[in-house]
A and B are shown apart, each in its own frame.
Chain A
């Protein structure tokens, strides 16, 4: 699409946005892939419409406020990127646009406080743990709170798991086949500490030595995707130095963090650390990809056949184009039958803090996902992202048809240990 964006005025960020807009040919192939378009059926809430709106704002034909409600509803799931034949890097466009528009944006003091609250807690496990404990106390008075505050409470578990600190190094079992660094993630450390412990056990069993570098922090994806560019840069700089060592790979087991790290080159575009950011991003791998490439050690057969549905996290399937590897891992467990979820490429509505900021659409999508999962008849759902995990669990529960949800690596861990996969019945 042609545009009249003044790239020079906007600088390096402008280049990124103009490039994406140019590649869009307005063909509409992305419409069916877009969850918000599926729910709302209107052009403003489609990828094509959003690209057009951003173009209009950047050209100065439309005020930022006019476009904002529709851009805010974008989940950043990048389903449109997978669907687009023309190769429009929509993810880069929306992230950069948010970074550009947020500082100029007017928000009410309450909104500001709410956003600040999220940005100041979620990325810090200890603060989040404290806030979550406090939140639990808030549950009984939930109906009295403003809607914006009700949503986060909804997602908190009744009981927080016990804090299980991570070691700095996990040695390989047997012959060492690789040495990697591991990003521990933020919210998942608090909500599901077992994700990390299970991952570390599986890696060790496969002869991988894992370093969990001290001084690492949040990957910054949360800040970056909500337009808090300065904050994101701050987190990212910390990680650039924490992960500077010599490793065969830098691993994550959270889809969102993996794609966050891979976006460092975008974040640092035009910054002095650009080269470093590229180096780091090139080494980042989802743990599933790494294990498949390494060659997974044989897994003992399950006690009894098990029907498992794998849920594609958007930040794995769309943002990192990782679909085959987690499935390969699961298929290597003898006795496991893998089933596909209908509309599998559609986002579950979790998407970072989206379910906190746009609860209505998030709920519609969450319920749709839960129903699709149930339609498979699977006994268990597996996914590779904490956000999806929480969202799916909570919507299965709401439908009153709860089946267990596990991280891919948790299932592998249990299979290796030959411990029961499902709770005893």
Chain B
């Protein structure tokens, strides 16, 4: 308690949480398979308070985790047992919006969608659009280099961040990047983005805004097989078109999305492809004719084009709600996140279908087809003995499949806790050692988000057989 008293000098009682009822809701992020109870949660309201919290951790060698909205799907914002959780939700202000320079400066707890809302009156928007955009914070987006449907054309978060003020694990403050796109020296900001909270906490972030596209052309195509939809994506890419977004949903995902938001999708389709062109009107009009031709030849049995802004929004609403909506079909599911080369999408999907049948578990597919980023959702019932383990195994097989096809173990949800064990499948020992050296140079005590991302160490993989060593030690528990 002495320790907490000291922390209490910086944080009033309402913002220093330590009672069981206050801590319990912070035990998990959106991957509830993992739980851990922190020593305390602090809710800083300023950069200085973040510095104070980090310094306190450094002084007492207490590991800490930054948390945004806790929507990480890989255990990224899972607290560390006995560590400090730094909740950034009260640092949620828009500090500056400069329509001339097309930048927005925000605190880390500012919500992604709010950036676009604030920029809208100036005809601007913030391009990265993870499905979690109404909830997830810019700080979390930065840490995970989040992407979304429209990142096909515009790139992930890293392409839209200009600068970040960061509190390093020793409590020092640095500013990485700058307001212009041209900077001299190494790309420190690039190193920070996607580092999953292991290199420090961003407290102020400068974002690039883009002019809102003048026109959209949104096409919804229905197929009688997943493979055909996958091949259609390859055909669009081969045609030389660069749509703003290309997304696929399979029949289970369609069912869930329909139940959740009644998007009006063709329910009997085995797969839906959403393709959206965006940009200036004459260009979009010309491309639209070409796209419609490509789609027609791809074997779609029904093609709809959104005729109004409302129809477009409805199409997207279904897609964006699909993940959580799967909760309507099954009490538990694992969201997997892997990448395959676009040309091999059809093959990967067929293989996933076979795996699903072999394991006797339903797999729903909702994914960013345009960049080959798969999101198989593996449905299971945790109350049936052994199902969770089987689901885990199936999830692992899908990742290995991605690597074997020449892809990656994560597109955007990060490594966190969930995928640490797969890092060696993707990176050589030398790669991993180099990464670790960078980490240790900045954080020799491994205080910042300890136990995440790197394989081994304090918290080995979840997928191994039998209880997790940390579980045996009573440090974490899975539900």
Contacts and interface: CB of A to CB of B under 8 A. Distances in A.
Interface stretch (A79-87, A160-168, A228-236): A79-87
B259 A62 contact: no
B111 interface: yes
Interface string A87-106: 11000000000000000000
B32 interface: yes
Contacts of B259: 87
Contacts of B25: 43-44, 46, 48-50, 52-53, 70
B120 to A, nearest CB: 12
Q: Which 5 A-B pairs have the closest CB atoms?
A: A86-B327, A66-B21, A49-B25, A85-B324, A85-B321
B383 interface: yes
Interface in A1-29: 1-3, 22-29
A376 to B, nearest CB: 15
Contacts of A86: 260, 324-328
B24 A62 contact: yes
A53 B43 CA distance: 19
Interface stretch (B49-57, B86-94, B288-296, B440-448): B86-94
B286 to A, nearest CB: 36
Listed residue (A1, A26, A69) with the most chain B CB atoms within 10 angstroms of its CB:
A26
B382 interface: yes
Nearest to A21: B331
Interface of A: 1-3, 22-29, 31-32, 41-44, 46, 48-50, 52-53, 56, 61-63, 66-70, 84-88
A362 to B, nearest CB: 18
A84 B21 contact: no
B21 A62 contact: yes
Contacts of A50: 25
A348 to B, nearest CB: 21
B48 interface: no
Contact of A27 (B20, B27, B323): B323
Chain B: interface size category: 35 or more
Contacts of A26: 28-30, 32
A43 B32 contact: no
Given A2-B383, A31-B135, A42-B89, A84 B324 contact: yes
B19 A66 contact: yes
Contacts of A68: 21
Listed residue (A27, A31, A67, A87) with the most chain B CB atoms within 10 angstroms of its CB:
A27
Nearest to B90: A41
A61 B479 CA distance: 13
14 contacts: A1-B332, A1-B479, A2-B331, A2-B332, A3-B479, A25-B327, A27-B71, A27-B132, A42-B17, A42-B87, A46-B25, A52-B25, A62-B20, A87-B325
Contact of B70 (A1, A24, A43, A44): A43
B214 interface: no
A63 B265 CA distance: 45
A32 B135 contact: yes
Nearest to B92: A41
B135 A85 contact: no
Nearest to B317: A85
Given A32-B135, A86-B260, A22 B331 contact: yes
Contacts of B134: 29, 32
Contact of A23 (B87, B331, B382, B383): B331
A52 B29 CA distance: 12
A52 B26 CA distance: 9
A32 B111 contact: yes
Given A25-B30, A32-B134, A85-B327, 8 more contacts: A27-B71, A29-B321, A32-B135, A61-B24, A66-B24, A70-B25, A86-B328, A87-B327
A28 B67 CA distance: 13
Nearest to A24: B327
Listed residue (B30, B326, B331, B333) with the most chain A CB atoms within 10 angstroms of its CB:
B331
Interface in B72-87: 87
A59 to B, nearest CB: 10
Contacts of B90: 41
A48 B132 CA distance: 15
Interface of B: 17, 19-22, 24-30, 32, 43, 69-71, 87, 89-90, 92, 109, 111, 132, 134-136, 259-261, 321-328, 331-333, 382-383, 479
Contacts, number: 118
A138 to B, nearest CB: 32
A345 to B, nearest CB: 12
Given A28-B30, A43-B70, A85-B261, A23 B327 contact: yes
Contacts of B327: 23-25, 27, 85-88
B21 A25 contact: no
Contacts of A31: 69, 135
B24 A23 contact: no
Contacts of A42: 17, 43, 87, 89
A42 B45 CA distance: 12
Nearest to A38: B92
Contacts of B71: 27-28
Contacts of B260: 85-87
A5 to B, nearest CB: 11
Contacts of B322: 85
A42 B322 CA distance: 26
A262 B138 CA distance: 40
Given A32-B134, A85-B321, A87-B327, A25 B19 contact: no
A53 B383 CA distance: 20
B324 A41 contact: no
Nearest to B323: A27
Contact of A2 (B30, B32, B70, B323): B32
Contacts of B43: 41-42
Listed residue (A3, A24, A44) with the most chain B CB atoms within 10 angstroms of its CB:
A44
A327 to B, nearest CB: 15
B139 to A, nearest CB: 14
A68 B19 CA distance: 12
B479 A28 contact: no
Given A28-B69, A31-B135, A44-B25, A85 B325 contact: yes
Nearest to B256: A85
Given A41-B92, A85-B260, A67 B30 contact: no
Contacts of B132: 27-29
Contacts of A62: 20-21, 24
A372 to B, nearest CB: 14
Contacts of B22: 44
Contact of B89 (A22, A25, A41, A67): A41
A314 B108 CA distance: 30
Nearest to B257: A85
B49 to A, nearest CB: 14
A84 B328 CA distance: 11
Listed residue (B259, B324, B326) with the most chain A CB atoms within 10 angstroms of its CB:
B324
A133 to B, nearest CB: 39
Contacts of A25: 30, 32, 324, 326-327, 333
A17 to B, nearest CB: 14
Contacts of B69: 28, 31
A46 B324 CA distance: 17
Nearest to B261: A85
